[in-house]
Each structure stands twice: as structure tokens, then as C-alpha cells.
Amino acid sequence: MTAADIPLGMRLKQEAGWNQTREDWERFLQLSPSGSFVASVDGIDLGTVCTFTFDDIGWIAMMLVDSRSRGQGVGKALMSHAIAHLENQGVTSIRLDATQLGRPVYLKLGFTDQFELNRYAGSLPLVQMGFLQDVKDITDKDWDQVIALDTTLMSTPRGSLLKALAAQEGTITVMVQNHGQVTGFLFIRPGANATFIGPCVAATPEAGHTLLGWAMMVCSGQEVIIDIPASHYHANQWARSSGLSVQRPLMRMCRGKDVRENVSTLWASSGPEKG
């Protein structure tokens, strides 16, 4: 896949009702210029898949197949190619967030379920913008702490991804600290259909509540999307009390060596294409 194929990706994601923008596709190619692929049958482009590597952990995303061609093996061929590519890079664990449509394909390819996420969507209520002294913008000098916290809690060295997400125009990145140490961070990003809240990683419940409370103020009155682990009581309670409803479930899956993030500290995922 190259920049010339982005219109194909945009058409397929729009057909699927996904929230990615052109800038998202450009970032995928920037992060993995030789790891994104297009399926073509008789000269007709019918599907996409993107892969990313974080040391020995791989991630598969943007697995999209033209609706008129589903059930003909295109998705399986894309996934098999993506798996082979990652394994050739020395990856020992391959992960993804599966939709209900894709999960049966992934099970047949050796993936196993890890935990479910709820994708919430809706309009946040109008609230008065206040001031939370504990919430601060992430600056250049903070990145080492932010990435160290994320790597420890999420069990994946994905600092390159976080910095690439933060660099997207319109993205807001904030953090909370305790005695000079970062205890949580939150990204709010523009999307095609709605503002995306996430990732939000917090080492303490206090940090998580503070960050999502801040997101409520910043995104007041906006259409938003947020992916929350189904087992995370407090984050799900925040979403429901904010008037959001579950749009669809997602299943985090893994193939190969098990990788387990600290789910209790994952208040909002980065999205199915990012983990």
C-alpha cells in the first residue's frame, strides 16, 4: 500500500462506517511504510490491511474488504499475508481488536480472545467549562515519563505510536502528575464522524476520573467515540452516566506469545487500529 491507495482505504472505511481520516491513513504509512497491503483480484483493488511492530509485538489493523467481495477469501488472504510479514520481522506476539464480523476469521488463524471492549458513541451533554489544576498539557520534557508509564502498564513499547498520534493536527494531549511523576495521560483526537477520546491510561483511579472528567468538559456537546474495556467498571459507568451508549463490542485477540496489559489502568483504548 502506498499514498496512491489512500482513496481506496477511505472508500472502504466509509463503507464500513469507521471513524478514520485521511491523516490516519497517512500516519499508518508513516509508521509502517513496508507493512501495509492491498488485496487485488483481476486488477481490482478489494481490501486493505496494515501491520505495525513494537519490538517483538505486532499489531494488525485496518482489515477492510469491499462488501461485494466478502466471503470469497480476500480477508483470509490479507490476514495470512499480514501474519507472515510480521513473523518475518521477528514478531512473537500478534494482536488486534476484532469486530464481530472479523473474529471468526481470526479464530481460524490461531488468534485467541483476551478481553472485550465496548465501543461507546453519542453526544456528550453540555457542561460548563471549568478548570482542573491537576490536568496539564504534555510538553516535550514530559514524553519520557509518559512513554515509560504507558510501556509499563500496557506491556508494549509503543512510544513511536503515541508521538505520531500527538503530532496529528487537532489532537489534544494532557496528563496528570503526582509529586512530579506522571500518573496518567489522555489524548482527544479528530475523527471523520466523531471526536475520538483515547488513549487514556491512568495508574490510579483518581487520575482516571480526573482525565475523563476533563474530557467531558473539553468535548461538551460533541459527538464522541470511546473504546472501554468491558471489565472496567468506573470507565463504563462514566460513559453510561454521560449519556453514551454501546455502539458495538470489540474483542482484543492475540496470536503467539501472550501479552497482557493492566486492563484496570486502561480507561480508554486508542482504537481498533492502534490498541
What confidence score (pLDDT) does residue 131 get?
60
**Percent of residues, the chain, with pLDDT higher than 90:** 89
* Whether residue 175 sits in one domain with residue 246: yes
* Whether residue 136 sits in one domain with residue 236: yes
SS3 (DSSP) at 90? coil
Cα angle: 70, vertex 76, 77; to 5 degrees = 105
* Whether residue 187 sits in one domain with residue 100: no
Structural domain of residue 95, as residue ranges?
3-114
Compute the mean pLDDT over every residue in the chain, rounded to the nearest whole number.
94
Q: Is it the case that residue 198 has pLDDT exceeding 90?
A: yes
* Whether residue 174 sits in one domain with residue 101: no
pLDDT band at 69 (very low <50, low <70, confident <90, very high): confident
Q: CATH number, domain at 202?
A: 3.40.630.30
* Whether residue 129 sits in one domain with residue 221: yes
Other C-beta atoms lying within 10 Å of the C-beta of residue 133: 7
Is residue 19 classed exposed, middle or buried when 0-12, 13-18 and 19+ CB atoms within 10 A define those classes? buried
* Whether residue 188 sits in one domain with residue 256: yes
Question: Is the residue at 18 inside a domain?
Answer: yes
Which of 44, 47, 8 lies closest to 25, judged by CA? 8
Question: Is the residue at 275 inside a domain?
Answer: no
Once rounded to an integer, what is the mean pLDDT over residues 199-228? Answer: 96
Q: Is it the case that residue 34 has pLDDT exceeding 70?
A: yes
pLDDT tens sequence across 84-95 = 999 999 999 999
Instruction: Say which DSSP state 140 is in.
Output: G
What confidence score (pLDDT) does residue 109 get?
93
**Percent of residues, the chain, with pLDDT higher than 70:** 98
* Whether residue 126 sits in one domain with residue 53: no
Boundary-marking domain end, from 114, 133, 149: 114
Task: Return the H-helix or E-strand segment holding 246.
Answer: strand 245-256
Boundary-marking domain end, from 94, 114, 134: 114
Cell of 249: 463490542
Question: Is the residue at 140 inside a domain?
Answer: yes
The partner residues of 36 in beta bridges, in order of sequence, read 50
Q: Is it the case that residue 129 has pLDDT exceeding 70?
A: no
* Whether residue 58 sits in one domain with residue 164: no
Q: Is it the case that residue 128 has pLDDT exceeding 80?
A: no
Q: Is it the case that residue 70 has pLDDT exceeding 90?
A: no
pLDDT tens sequence across 148-184 = 999 999 999 999 999 999 999 999 999 999 999 999 9
CA 255 to chain centre: 18
CA distances for 184 relative to 20, 55, 63, 208, 209, angstroms: 25, 23, 30, 7, 10
Cell of 214: 476533563
Cell of 17: 462506517
Residues in contact with 234: Cβ distance below 8 Å, sequence separation at least 6, in sequence order: 205, 208, 209, 267
How much is the pTM? 0.94
Q: What's the domain count of the chain?
A: 2
Place of cell 454501546: 246
What confidence score (pLDDT) does residue 130 get?
63
Question: Is the residue at 274 inside a domain?
Answer: no
What confidence score (pLDDT) does residue 148 get?
98
* Whether residue 244 sits in one domain with residue 151: yes
